[in-house]
């Protein structure tokens, strides 16, 4: 527990802890490849990264070149089968991090320039001297507004000066980290950006990424598991998939240190059994929810490896872990940068939130964090959520589990009352909140609802418009412009989205920029002017993104 009275004495230590906590969300980068044959190379082992930075210097206009600007490599470099490389870089300005200044440099096999993907539109020209003190920025963070009213025990710790470019023109800002807990028990790790010249809140970004889901009644049936023997017992731990494992959190919730810094988080107790069998398929046995969570992790791991050539969430072969039985009657699930956490639901309308599509959804938040790093607010936040819905759904199809047939309904398995879930991709607006069609107001919606535009696009791209039955459920997808779309199939659609995410999207990508990113990905994979390329364009137009 932190002592508020010791805050002034621990500023430097706390700031270092914040930096460490945030760093864990972006390190371990391993963008995926268009096929399993592509390989990733570490930039320190060759000169690819150096050549990328040198190439930027030769293209000052595209680099948004200005005095005081510098770049650094954020992780590993993607190398395509033809030798083309894609290097992710972070930008600093006069020593300050540039939020939204990240970019990807694309080069051919011979280091010939192929272009750059980025959100920043113009060179940065701001003063780095703040007119607003950090203490004044702290007070702005805790002021009551639509966001902070939902967070209990909101606590603020030290922040840092940054240049924020995601809310319009670049501005010097204080990035302040705060923690707390939402009314339903979900922990909050909120980043608030305060204008360092005016003291006004520019924007807020929640770093705990949740799924608006509510339950799973353990419908995956009897599933294969890889377990680890430890003495005379067996652990629910998979040595074949990065030592991923699942724990019982005992219906507790995270403490303040974990909420604020993402450190000191308790892992829970790893499930063990005297034999190699776990659970009984019902909620009467606490192991059953653990089985579903572990199985979902295994299937998601295999999906990314076999379909996209990615070695785990982080792309490094390192595993994460699951915590089940979080809180009391907790109707949600979340990814916090290192692990997946699942509530039990309320037992009436919703069961435990450990279904296949939710497991795929939460792990995919990790993939997004460790590739494009889509900011969890505005349109990029909607794309972040739609990416998780897309890949969570593709995991469900990939599993080919007779107990949970693939469909485009999100969370239908743990919806005990209606079995219809809480979101659907064929016509997102049917939930009463989501956008099926892009408008100028989409960016102002909660990210779980602005995600509808990306979900609708992907459904149309894969399945097409009109009515059809998929996974024993009737789907009907109208277009926003009255057009008729013939889908290209899930196989090609998911490859396009993954390449767009890992090669072309950056932290502040908007829906219009996602259109460009997916068209670039389709051209890479299938050729400019191919049926896949043309359908990508038509599907975006069908959701009003032109």
Catalytic residue among 90, 206, 287, 362: 362
Q: Which two tokens stand for residue 532?
A: 């896949």
Task: Point out the catalytic residue in the list 86, 325, 448, 456.
Answer: 448
Q: Give, in degrees to the nearest 5, the angle at Cα 534 between 530 and 536.
A: 115
Measure CA of the first residue to CA of the last residue in the chain; give whole Å: 50
Rounded to the nearest 10 degrees, the angle between the axes of helix 511-526 and helix 531-541 is 170
∠ CA 491-494-500, nearest 5°, is 140
Residue 25 CB partners (closer than 8 Å, separation 6+) = 207, 262, 337, 369, 373
Residues with Cβ within 8 Å of residue 293, at least 6 apart in sequence = 246, 322, 324, 340, 342, 354, 359
In the block, tokens 């059994």 appear at 273
C-alpha closest to that of 186 among 161, 150, 159, 215: 150
| Nearest one of 339, 174, 318, 133 to 238, comparing CA atoms | 318
Whether 362 sits among the annotated catalytic residues: the reply is yes
Sign of CA dihedral 196, 198, 199, 203: negative
**Encoded tokens for 289:** 């929810």
Q: Rounded distance, CA 428 to CA 430, Å?
A: 5
Q: How many CA atoms lie within 13 A of 28 on its CB side?
A: 22
Q: Please give the positions annotated as active site.
A: 362, 448
């Amino acid at each position: 527990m932190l002592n508020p009275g010791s805050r002034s004495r621990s500023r430097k230590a706390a700031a270092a802890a914040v930096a460490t906590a945030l760093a864990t969300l972006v390190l371990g980068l391993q963008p995926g490849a268009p096929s399993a044959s592509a390989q990733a190379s570490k930039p320190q082992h060759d000169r690819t990264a150096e050549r990328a930075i040198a190439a930027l210097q030769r293209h000052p206009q595209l680099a948004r070149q200005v005095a005081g600007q510098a770049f650094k490599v954020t992780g590993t470099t993607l190398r395509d089968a033809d030798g083309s490389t894609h290097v992710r870089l972070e930008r600093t300005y006069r020593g300050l991090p540039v939020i939204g200044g990240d970019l990807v440099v694309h080069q051919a096999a011979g280091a010939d320039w192929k272009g750059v993907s980025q959100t920043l539109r113009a060179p940065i020209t701001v003063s780095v001297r703040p007119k607003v003190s950090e203490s004044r920025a702290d007070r702005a963070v805790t002021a009551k507004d639509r966001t902070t009213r939902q967070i209990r025990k909101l606590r603020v710790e030290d922040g840092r000066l940054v240049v924020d470019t995601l809310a319009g023109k670049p501005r010097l800002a204080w990035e302040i980290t705060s923690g707390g807990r939402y009314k339903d028990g979900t922990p909050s790790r909120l980043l608030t950006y305060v204008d360092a010249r005016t003291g006004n809140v520019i924007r807020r970004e929640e770093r705990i990424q949740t799924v608006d889901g509510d339950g799973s009644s353990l419908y995956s049936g009897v599933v294969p598991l890889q377990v680890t023997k430890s003495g005379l017992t067996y652990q629910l731990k998979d040595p074949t998939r990065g030592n991923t494992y699942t724990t019982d959190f005992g219906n507790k919730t995270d403490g303040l240190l974990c909420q604020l810094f993402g450190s000191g988080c308790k892992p829970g107790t790893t499930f063990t059994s005297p034999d190699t069998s776990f659970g009984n398929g019902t909620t009467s046995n606490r192991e059953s929810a653990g089985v579903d969570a572990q199985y979902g992790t295994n299937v998601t791991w295999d999906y990314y490896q076999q379909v996209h050539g990615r070695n785990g969430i982080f792309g490094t072969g390192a595993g994460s872990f699951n915590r089940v039985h979080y809180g009391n009657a907790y109707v949600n699930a979340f990814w916090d940068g290192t692990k997946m956490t699942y509530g039990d639901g309320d037992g009436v309308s919703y069961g435990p939130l450990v279904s296949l599509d939710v497991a795929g959804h939460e792990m995919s938040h990790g993939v997004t964090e460790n590739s494009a790093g889509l900011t969890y607010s505005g349109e990029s936040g909607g794309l972040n959520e739609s990416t998780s819905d897309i890949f969570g759904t593709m995991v469900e199809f990939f599993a080919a589990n007779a107990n949970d047939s693939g469909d485009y309904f999100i969370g239908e398995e743990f919806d005990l009352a209606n079995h219809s879930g809480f979101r659907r991709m064929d016509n997102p607006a049917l939930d009463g909140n989501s956008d099926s069609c892009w408008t100028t107001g989409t960016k102002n919606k909660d990210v779980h609802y602005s995600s509808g535009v990306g979900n609708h696009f992907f459904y149309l791209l894969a399945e097409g418009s009109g009515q059809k039955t998929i996974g024993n459920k009737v789907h009907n997808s109208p277009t926003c412009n009255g057009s008729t779309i013939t889908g290209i199939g899930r196989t090609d659609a998911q490859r396009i989205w993954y390449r767009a995410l890992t090669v072309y999207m950056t932290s502040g990508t908007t829906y219009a920029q996602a259109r460009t990113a997916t068209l670039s990905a389709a051209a890479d994979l299938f050729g400019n002017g191919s049926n896949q390329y043309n359908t990508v364009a038509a599907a975006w137009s069908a959701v009003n993104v032109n």
